[in-house]
């Protein structure tokens, strides 16, 4: 066996095999795959093989789309038939809300070019008479969707990989990983059969690999232990049952093609044909997590016993939907481990803290995702970045604060939520509250309805004081939910008076030391601020796209305070640390401190915000302490509010006069009381994240993860004022070479009276051609209509262009505005007083 390779892939399931194949296809000719048992012996062998397109995420839809297209080419390449049945996929709706969900999904699907049709209950009945339709509202149908044989598609990928030079070695288990500074020494052991178990033999070896990819499926917890990191991928039990042949189906099939895969989301199941009978795959309540601390040696290609009682409701509802299935008996059952993560998406990308170590773990739709994952991960590894933004799948989106218990309970919840209504304003309840700021109970007592950001509880909006526990759940909608008016009132308060926003979740880093200035000058694309001043700036990828947005405060000549998005703390910290380590030899010693949990942040904003602060500021001359002269816009000062020392930064993400008040977290409750009391005289309102999100769109402020990401450069985000082309910085040449593929715009929408966009909708030119997509959406209190931000081809970005946006399955006018339609001159932000 070869012992020196460019890339070692660990795990021979669908995912690992696809990655090995795609690395070879991308041009790496020294790739090895190790599998501790047989290929497909993990979850892959017992998957039902469905390839559902449906997904609310732009990145994941691209991944699924790529898989489906790729699988269709495999037979020609390898001569192996993977049993790809393109039978279509019929997603039925029992309620109007479910139809709303499909309409939102459909406009997202359009942004990726995924084909679909709408069907009425009568049309369903006409095509598939075995389906009961009298209680349906309609359905969305994907003609190109279908199912495949999971083992066969894996074997076809393995054959394709071998043909491209990949070495596939079975019965070798990876037992250790050691980073030498230049490559990984991977300790492996030959596995042998003993009494039905697979056990380690005495035969060992070491593989030297420049890059390692782990795709270890249900063994992710062992992989995490070997690597000394956290991987919140823990399997949950998942069952499907196979019935005997259904005479009615056999009869129907004499004159018809195969049934499409049926999905009755409201009943929580999928059904497909299998040799004249049916496969029922339920996503029932109460499926337990398994193997929290690792897979026992005795568990190989095994299954758990069927728990029919747990899926009785779904079974009965299949009989309701397909009445002919009532009389057919059960032929077979499968109850296997299916890997999940706390948000249900896999973990794909660089491992936290490690070099050249890539994770591809936590796949719950791994057959569907394998092809696309291989393609995009290989792009990341061989070219530096994928063509789509993979941040939503990045392993570091989950913080290091997470525990096994958290991951297990959240993963059970993610399984349980596969078929719930995927409201964009959904907040999932498991494991909460967990990370709370000292003002949490006070906010709660004032009606806060909290969202969950990287584990933090953050107010989304302030609802009624006497709200029942179910208030937020019942307020959710694909249209304007029961919370909408609260957010409107909060947004108005900021525009007209003053609002106090809890922004404590922000990621905060101190960067200091003799190398700090030169490093940050190279690391970010804008000029560095002078001492006491701040700048908005971007760290770029090697491809010139946006990796992180920072507000940089220069505290001293060699010390900086960096503030970035709260949802991305570990993602940002890892990138910053690795870059600083790489550059220390060039620039000198650079110290990085993650101080996220040391500081709370309140953002106070609105024309009366200065008055509120003036009432509590302690200063030799309080009347002028916050004036433009002593505290200009885009500057920082250490001030004292009552007894609380505050690092105040004069910026406001809402685009009003305002300050961010960074304070010692342990003094937060005191500061909250102080500001609340002072604000009472000025009508100050507590304001949540939803209103803030709307307000920032009126100012065209780009949000990280929406307008800013690894698929667009800051120039494409139309932010040339924050890019200093007179200096050299990481990614500059690539950014310039990329040009402007599409450009960021803000639109005001003459839309429906009961709905706003969510930032996933497709945009069209007047002639009906698709020209881009929204990345943010909401309601503008300043303009009294819906607002959105997004990307279009440059020729459609001129101010005044009237585009069309698809919402609720209709096209609505969306007019491109100037950047910052509200207060374009920044007069209110700069107001003196």
Ligand X SMILES: Cc1cc2nc3c(=O)[nH]c(=O)nc-3n(C[C@H](O)[C@H](O)[C@H](O)COP(=O)(O)OP(=O)(O)OC[C@H]3O[C@@H](n4cnc5c(N)ncnc54)[C@H](O)[C@@H]3O)c2cc1C
Which residues of this chain interact with ligand X, rule CB under 6 A? 10-16, 34-37, 41-44, 46-50, 173-174, 215-219, 238, 240, 334, 336-338, 363-368
Strand-pair partners of 459: 450
CA–CA dist 643, 646 (Å, integer): 9
Nearer to ligand X by Cβ, of 208 and 793: the residue is 208
Task: In angstroms, give the least distance from the CB of 93 to ligand X.
Answer: 21
CA–CA dist 460, 263 (Å, integer): 32
Structure tokens at 589: 């010693």
H and E: helices and strands count for the chain: 20, 36
**Distance between alpha carbon 385 and the CA centroid of its chain, in Å?**
17
CA–CA dist 652, 638 (Å, integer): 17
Nearer to ligand X by Cβ, of 219 and 760: the residue is 219
Structure tokens at 125: 């009945």
Nearer to ligand X by Cβ, of 362 and 688: the residue is 362
Task: In angstroms, give the least distance from the CB of 216 to ligand X.
Answer: 3
Buried b (16+ CB within 10 A) or exposed e, 582-593: ebbeebeebebe
Task: In angstroms, give the least distance from the CB of 169 to ligand X.
Answer: 9
- Smallest CA-to-CA distance from 148 within 318, 384, 367 is with 367
Contact 828/757 with Cβ under 8 angstroms? Answer: no
Contact 110/103 with Cβ under 8 angstroms? Answer: no
Nearer to ligand X by Cβ, of 363 and 406: the residue is 363
Nearer to ligand X by Cβ, of 217 and 607: the residue is 217
Residue 325: C-alpha distances to residues 129, 130, 140, 660 (Å): 13, 9, 23, 62
For residue 825, the tally of other CB atoms under 10 A from its CB is 8
For the chain, the straight-line distance linking the first and the last C-alpha, in angstroms and rounded, comes to 75
Task: In angstroms, give the least distance from the CB of 260 to ligand X.
Answer: 14
Nearer to ligand X by Cβ, of 291 and 722: the residue is 291
CA–CA dist 310, 308 (Å, integer): 5
CA–CA dist 217, 359 (Å, integer): 11
Strands 197-214 and 357-361: parallel
Nearer to ligand X by Cβ, of 162 and 830: the residue is 162
Task: In angstroms, give the least distance from the CB of 406 to ligand X.
Answer: 21
Task: In angstroms, give the least distance from the CB of 507 to ligand X.
Answer: 30
CA–CA dist 446, 117 (Å, integer): 46
Q: Prior bond to 129 cis, omega within 30?
A: no
CA–CA dist 341, 819 (Å, integer): 38
Nearer to ligand X by Cβ, of 273 and 756: the residue is 273
Task: In angstroms, give the least distance from the CB of 391 to ligand X.
Answer: 20
Residue 698: phi and psi, rounded to 5, are: -65, -25
Task: In angstroms, give the least distance from the CB of 218 to ligand X.
Answer: 5
Nearer to ligand X by Cβ, of 48 and 431: the residue is 48
Half-sphere exposure of 212 (CA within 13 A, CB side): 26
Which H or E run contains 409?
helix 404-416
- Smallest CA-to-CA distance from 90 within 127, 44, 36 is with 127
CA–CA dist 386, 388 (Å, integer): 5
Task: In angstroms, give the least distance from the CB of 368 to ligand X.
Answer: 4
Task: In angstroms, give the least distance from the CB of 139 to ligand X.
Answer: 20
Non-local (6+) Cβ contacts of 824 within 8 A are 818
Nearer to ligand X by Cβ, of 215 and 686: the residue is 215
Task: In angstroms, give the least distance from the CB of 9 to ligand X.
Answer: 9
The radius of gyration of the chain's CA atoms, rounded to the nearest angstrom, is 28
Task: In angstroms, give the least distance from the CB of 353 to ligand X.
Answer: 20
Nearer to ligand X by Cβ, of 202 and 466: the residue is 202
Nearer to ligand X by Cβ, of 11 and 515: the residue is 11
Nearer to ligand X by Cβ, of 52 and 606: the residue is 52
Nearer to ligand X by Cβ, of 71 and 523: the residue is 71
Structure tokens at 729: 């910085």
Half-sphere exposure of 440 (CA within 13 A, CB side): 17
Task: In angstroms, give the least distance from the CB of 399 to ligand X.
Answer: 23
Contact 643/664 with Cβ under 8 angstroms? Answer: no
Task: In angstroms, give the least distance from the CB of 523 to ligand X.
Answer: 34
Nearer to ligand X by Cβ, of 215 and 590: the residue is 215
Burial class of residue 96 (count of CB atoms within 10 Å of its CB; 0-12, 13-18, 19+): exposed
Buried b (16+ CB within 10 A) or exposed e, 674-706: bbbebbeebebbbbbbbbbbbbbbbbbbbbbbb
CA–CA dist 775, 693 (Å, integer): 12
Task: In angstroms, give the least distance from the CB of 468 to ligand X.
Answer: 37
Task: In angstroms, give the least distance from the CB of 356 to ligand X.
Answer: 18
Task: In angstroms, give the least distance from the CB of 116 to ligand X.
Answer: 19
CA angle, 783 then 788 then 791, to 5°: 140
Nearer to ligand X by Cβ, of 11 and 544: the residue is 11
- Smallest CA-to-CA distance from 494 within 829, 813, 232, 128 is with 829
Nearer to ligand X by Cβ, of 15 and 525: the residue is 15
SS3 819: coil
CA–CA dist 287, 634 (Å, integer): 52
Nearer to ligand X by Cβ, of 344 and 463: the residue is 344
Task: In angstroms, give the least distance from the CB of 378 to ligand X.
Answer: 15
DSSP assignment of 46-81: G---B-----S-HHHHHHHHHHHHHHHHHHHHHS--
């Amino acid at each position: 066996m070869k012992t020196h390779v460019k890339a070692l892939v660990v795990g021979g399931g669908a995912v690992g095999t696809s990655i090995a194949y795609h690395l070879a296809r991308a041009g790496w000719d020294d790739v090895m795959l190790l599998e501790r048992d047989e290929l497909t012996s993990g979850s892959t062998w017992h998957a039902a093989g469905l390839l559902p397109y449906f997904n609310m995420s732009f990145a994941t839809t691209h991944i699924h789309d790529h898989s489906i297209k790729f699988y269709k080419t495999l037979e020609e390449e390898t001569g192996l038939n993977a049993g790809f049945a393109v039978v279509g996929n019929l997603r039925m709706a029992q309620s109007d809300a479910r139809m709303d969900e499909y309409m939102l999904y459909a406009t997202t699907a359009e942004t990726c070019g995924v084909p679909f049709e709408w069907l009425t209950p009568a049309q369903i009945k006409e095509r598939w008479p075995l389906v009961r339709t009298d209680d349906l509202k309609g359905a969305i149908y994907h003609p190109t969707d279908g199912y495949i044989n999971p083992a066969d598609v894996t074997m076809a990928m393995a054959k394709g990989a071998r043909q491209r030079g990949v070495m596939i070695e079975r019965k070798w288990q990876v037992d250790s990983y050691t980073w030498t500074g230049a490559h990984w020494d991977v300790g492996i052991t030959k596995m042998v059969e003993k009494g039905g178990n697979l056990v380690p033999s005495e035969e060992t070896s070491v593989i030297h690999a420049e890059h390692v990819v782990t795709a270890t499926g249900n063994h992710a917890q062992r992989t995490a232990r070997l690597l000394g990191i956290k991987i919140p991928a823990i399997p949950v039990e998942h069952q499907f049952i196979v019935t005997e042949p259904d005479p009615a189906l056999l009869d129907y099939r004499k004159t018809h093609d195969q049934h499409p895969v049926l999905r009755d989301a409201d009943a929580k199941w999928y059904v497909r044909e299998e040799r004249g009978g049916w496969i029922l795959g339920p996503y029932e309540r109460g499926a337990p997590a398994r193997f929290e601390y690792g897979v026992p040696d005795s568990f190989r290609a095994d299954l758990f016993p069927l728990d029919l009682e747990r899926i009785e409701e779904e079974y009965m509802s299949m009989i309701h939907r397909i009445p002919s299935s009532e009389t057919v008996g059960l032929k077979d059952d499968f109850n296997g481990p299916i890997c999940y993560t706390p948000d249900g998406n896999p973990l794909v990308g660089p491992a936290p803290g490690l070099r050249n170590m890539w994770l591809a773990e936590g796949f719950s739709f791994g057959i569907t995702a394998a092809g696309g994952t291989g393609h995009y991960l290989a792009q990341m590894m061989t070219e530096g970045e994928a063509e789509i933004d993979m941040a939503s799948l990045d392993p570091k989106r989950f913080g290091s604060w997470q525990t096994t218990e958290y991951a297990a309970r959240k993963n059970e919840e993610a399984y349980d939520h596969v078929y719930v209504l995927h409201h964009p304003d959904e907040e999932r309840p498991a494991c909460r509250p967990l990370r709370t700021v000292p003002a949490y109970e006070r906010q709660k007592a004032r009606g806060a309805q909290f969202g969950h950001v990287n584990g933090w509880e953050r107010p989304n909006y302030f609802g009624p004081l006497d709200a029942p526990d179910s208030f937020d759940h019942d307020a959710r909608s694909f249209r304007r939910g029961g919370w909408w008016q609260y957010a409107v009132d909060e947004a108005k308060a900021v525009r007209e008076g003053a609002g106090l926003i809890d922004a404590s979740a922000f990621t905060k880093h101190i960067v200091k030391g003799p190398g700090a200035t030169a490093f940050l000058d190279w690391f970010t694309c804008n000029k560095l601020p002078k001492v006491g001043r701040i700048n908005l700036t971007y760290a770029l990828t090697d491809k010139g796209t946006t990796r992180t947005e920072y507000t940089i405060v220069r505290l001293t000549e060699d010390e900086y305070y960096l503030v970035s998005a709260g949802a991305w703390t570990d993602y940002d910290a890892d990138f910053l640390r690795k870059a600083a380590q790489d550059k220390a030899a060039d620039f000198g010693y650079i110290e990085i401190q993650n101080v996220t949990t040391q500081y709370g942040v309140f953002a106070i904003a609105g024309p009366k915000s200065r008055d509120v602060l003036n009432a509590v500021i302690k200063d030799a001359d309080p009347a002028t302490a916050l004036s433009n002269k002593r505290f200009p816009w885009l500057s920082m000062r250490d001030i004292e509010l009552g007894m609380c020392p505050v690092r105040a930064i004069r910026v406001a993400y809402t685009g009003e006069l305002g300050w961010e008040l960074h304070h010692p977290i342990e003094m937060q409750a005191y500061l909250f009381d102080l500001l609340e009391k002072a604000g009472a005289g000025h009508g100050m309102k507590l304001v949540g994240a939803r209103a803030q999100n709307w307000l920032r769109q009126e100012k065209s402020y780009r949000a990280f993860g929406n307008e800013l990401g690894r698929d667009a450069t800051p120039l494409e985000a139309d932010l040339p004022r924050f890019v200093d082309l007179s200096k050299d910085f990481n990614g500059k040449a690539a950014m310039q070479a990329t040009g402007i593929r599409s450009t960021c715009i803000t639109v005001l929408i003459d839309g429906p009276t009961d709905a706003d966009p969510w930032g996933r909708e497709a945009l069209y030119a007047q002639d009906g051609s698709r020209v881009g997509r929204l990345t943010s959406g909401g309601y503008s209190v300043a303009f009294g209509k819906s607002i959105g931000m997004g990307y279009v081809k440059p020729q459609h970005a001129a101010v005044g262009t009237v585009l069309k946006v698809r919402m609720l399955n209709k096209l609505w006018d969306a007019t491109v505005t100037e950047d910052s339609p509200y207060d374009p001159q920044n007069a209110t932000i700069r107001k003196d007083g």
